[in-house]
Amino acid sequence: MSRLGIFCLSLLLLALPAGAAKQKSKAPKAPNLEAVEVVARRAPGEIHFDGRVRNTGDKPLIGLILIFKLRNDDGGVVTEQRGELDQKVLDPGEEAVFRMGTRDAPRAVSVTIDATDNRRMDLEVGRNGPFPIE
């Protein structure tokens, strides 16, 4: 085998572990928050959201804001509404109840939930839907 062939083979062997390390670093982040229970119901001219969320992270969540994305049949976002939890601090493992509402969006058939905190940091939400609008 020529020197060039040996050199190329050596480079290839060195690159394989580096590529594997890059793939490991792209693992999805663990959720900071989990939607434990979500019920979305229509009332005349409104949609009401009731449920519970749990802090599944290892740090307190301060000023938690839930983002309700109302979706159509195709999964596209029809509208987005935000609401802050009454409970200002949600400690790790702790649950909080929410009751929020918005104007009806006639084309909306389901809702997904995202979240942010008082620093406007996007949070990973586990079990975030879609939940049907009844």
Say what the pLDDT of residue 21 is.
Answer: 47
Average confidence (pLDDT) over 103-118: 95
Domain enclosing residue 58, as ranges: 33-132
Does residue 122 lie in a domain region? Answer: yes
Average confidence (pLDDT) over 84-100: 96
Average confidence (pLDDT) over 17-31: 61
Does residue 52 lie in a domain region? Answer: yes
Say what the pLDDT of residue 24 is.
Answer: 54
Grade residue 25 by pLDDT with cuts at 50, 70 and 90. low
Q: Per the structure, how many domains does the chain have?
A: 1
Compute the distance between CA of residue 94 and CA of residue 39 in angstroms, rounded to an integer. Answer: 20
* Domain CATH code at residue 93: 2.60.40.10
Answer whether residue 48 shows pLDDT above 60.
Answer: yes
Q: Around 86, how many Cα atoms within 13 Å sit in the side-chain half-sphere?
A: 6
116 burial (CB, 10 Å; 0-12 / 13-18 / 19+) is middle
Average confidence (pLDDT) over 52-70: 96
Does residue 74 lie in a domain region? Answer: yes
Say what the pLDDT of residue 118 is.
Answer: 87
